[in-house]
């Protein structure tokens, strides 16, 4: 059975993040800081651990902290969260298209090096210096 509350150190350990990460998320407004009792340590509820897991999963999908904040603010608002996810998907598709171009350019440069191993100067260095055309 899971604990019902955690100190910040135990919360960090269970969420597999650093204590400073938790403090950063609190400052960013993603995680509420519990009140400090007269004596003892702040106790974070199980919901804080669940929120940290949500934040980490969202980051793995490429969402920024600002976007995660927007998702959390929307709660169960499906149309609003869908719009944020659709924007993220559009950005991912754009990055993939750019990476396909980068891959093609790098493959061409490597092929040039392989085709002319004895050439003076590197086609890669020339291309990256602006002497070659990489577009």
Model confidence pLDDT, tens digit, residues 25-45: 999 999 999 998 888 889 999
Model confidence pLDDT, tens digit, residues 87-134: 999 999 999 999 999 999 999 999 988 888 777 778 788 888 875 455
Residue with the two structure tokens 């960013």: 28
pTM, 2 dp: 0.78
The class that CATH gives domain 1-75 is mainly alpha
Find the helix or strand (DSSP H, E) in which 82 lies. helix 78-115
What is the distance between the alpha carbons of residues 50 and 14, in angstroms, rounded to a whole number?
10
Find the helix or strand (DSSP H, E) in which 6 lies. strand 5-6
């Amino acid at each position: 059975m899971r604990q019902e509350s955690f100190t910040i150190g135990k919360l960090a350990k269970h969420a597999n993040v650093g204590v400073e990460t938790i403090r950063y998320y609190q400052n960013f407004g993603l995680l509420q800081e519990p009140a400090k009792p007269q004596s003892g340590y702040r106790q974070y509820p199980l919901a804080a651990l669940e929120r940290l897991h949500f934040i980490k999963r969202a980051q793995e999908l490429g969402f920024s902290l600002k976007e995660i904040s927007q998702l959390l603010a929307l709660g169960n608002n499906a149309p609003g969260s869908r719009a944020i996810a659709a924007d993220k998907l559009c950005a991912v598709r754009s990055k993939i298209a750019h990476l396909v171009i980068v891959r093609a350019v790098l493959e061409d440069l490597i092929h040039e090096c392989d085709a002319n191993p004895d050439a003076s100067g590197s086609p890669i260095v020339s291309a990256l210096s602006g002497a070659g055309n990489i577009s």
